Amino acid sequence: MLKYVIPAFIVVFFLTYFFIGEDFQSVEYFQQNWHWSKVEHYGIQEDERFKFSPQRALNAYKTKSGLYLFGINKEVSISSDYLIEVPLKGNGFYLYKKVGDTVSYFSEAGEILWEKPYQSYPRASYSGKLVLFLSGDQNRVLLSDINGNGIGVKEVNGRFLVDYSFSIDSQDALLVFAGGEIYYINSQGEIVYSTTETNTSSKFFQKSSCLSPNGKRAAVHYTKKDTDFIKILDEQGKRIATVKLKKIYPHKIYMTISDDGLLLINTPDDIYLYNKDEKITEFNKAQHEQIYQVAYYSGSYFLASYKNILVFFDREGNLVKKKELHSYPFRIIPTETKNVLFVETLRNIVSFQLIQ
């Protein structure tokens, strides 16, 4: 009997401590159902009511001495000479050096699968199916599959890559260069569309991007004539709306877009939700925050960061939930299961599930 009581006590303790003071009624059926300590490398028992295993869905996370691999439930040491790239929804990881001539790929068990002569930095899509190899001067991007083999058009070029985005579902990529080039690359490495800004003499500079889950909508942030804008593109790369921002941001801003074009923008000063060029809601922050912000679309709700608080907006722009976290920064990790996601902080990983 005691062996059942102790795990139950641990579950109650974690949920009570980590979510103390939480109002679960603000979003009906939106629940936090699992917690993992990155410090102790230990999580609460998985809730059998949910047909989802958090530990099987997670790949790895970085530690002070290397990586913790969920595939073998073990921390592995990695030399500080190497940089690490981890596909969020995929398996395994990449090792490379800031100044090096090879890239290595390891399985989820930490076994080396291949090493190839790349003098570029690997950036994997969510599943790892498409890998971008970025040149040191940021003017060339090589396109590879998970095995390190060139695919599709093999490479694209532009005037200084400033941002790239992956679609969560289709694993496609949007590449945005400062000089005006935009490439939409599918998971096979083929160019779906490409555009180039022709009038770049009037202080034009592209800075940020995002892709919808299925890749049918994209948004690109840019400066033109001393004003910041965001253009929304359809699946053919045609502009369907333009949003004008209050001020110039000389850096990347964080945003997310739904498959039907609803755009959430999270700047250091404000949070906005737009339907094309019509502003649905505006949430003003008490003070100017740091550059990095969270912006994520779950398929039902928009999630954004405000200080150390995770805020939830519905598709009508209503603020429906606030969740104070114990540390900042944090990020969202998507899963293969609809309406299930992880929130990762410096010390913890928590899973959320929307029950419909």
pLDDT tops 60 at residue 9: no
Count the alpha carbons within 13 Å of 210 in the hemisphere toward its beta carbon.
25
What element of type H or E holds 77?
strand 74-77
Q: What is the pLDDT of residues 29-46, one digit of tens each?
A: 568 889 999 999 999 988
pLDDT interval class at 47 (50, 70, 90): confident
Q: What is the mean pLDDT of residues 166-182?
A: 97
Higher per-residue pLDDT: 10 or 327: 327
**What's the chain's Rg over C-alpha atoms?**
21
- Are the C-beta atoms of residues 30 and 352 closer than 8 Å to each other? yes
Choose the weakest-confidence range: 5-9, 70-74, 216-220, 334-338.
5-9
As given in the structure block, the two tokens for residue 111 are: 């076994």
Report the distance separating Cα 178 and Cα 203, nearest Å: 11
Q: What is the pLDDT of residues 191-241, one digit of tens each?
A: 999 999 876 667 899 999 999 999 999 999 999 999 999 999 999 999 999
Question: Three-state DSSP class for 12?
Answer: helix
Q: What is the mean pLDDT of residues 49-66?
A: 91
Model pLDDT, residue 8: 45
pLDDT tops 50 at residue 13: no
Tokens 């073998």 belong to residue? 72
pLDDT tops 80 at residue 75: yes
pLDDT tops 60 at residue 87: yes
Strand 205-211, strand 191-196: pairing? unpaired
Report the distance separating Cα 17 and Cα 44, nearest Å: 12
Model pLDDT, residue 281: 96
pLDDT tops 80 at residue 319: yes
pLDDT tops 60 at residue 325: yes
pLDDT tops 60 at residue 2: no
pLDDT tops 90 at residue 58: yes
Distances in Å between the Cα of 57 and the Cα atoms of 118, 222, 280 are: 29, 35, 34
Q: What is the pLDDT of residues 327-345, one digit of tens each?
A: 889 999 999 887 889 999 9
Which of 354, 348, 334 is closest to 127 using CA atoms?
334
Please state, rounded to an integer, the average pLDDT across all residues of the chain.
90
Which of 154, 155, 207, 217 is closest to 179 using CA atoms?
207
**SS3 letters across 165-208:** EECCCCCCEEEEECCCEEEEECCCCCEEEEEECCCCCCCCEEEE
Choose the weakest-confidence range: 43-57, 160-174, 307-321.
43-57
Choose the weakest-confidence range: 15-19, 184-188, 272-276.
15-19
Model pLDDT, residue 29: 56
Report the distance separating Cα 317 and Cα 339, nearest Å: 18
pLDDT interval class at 52 (50, 70, 90): confident
pLDDT tops 50 at residue 1: no
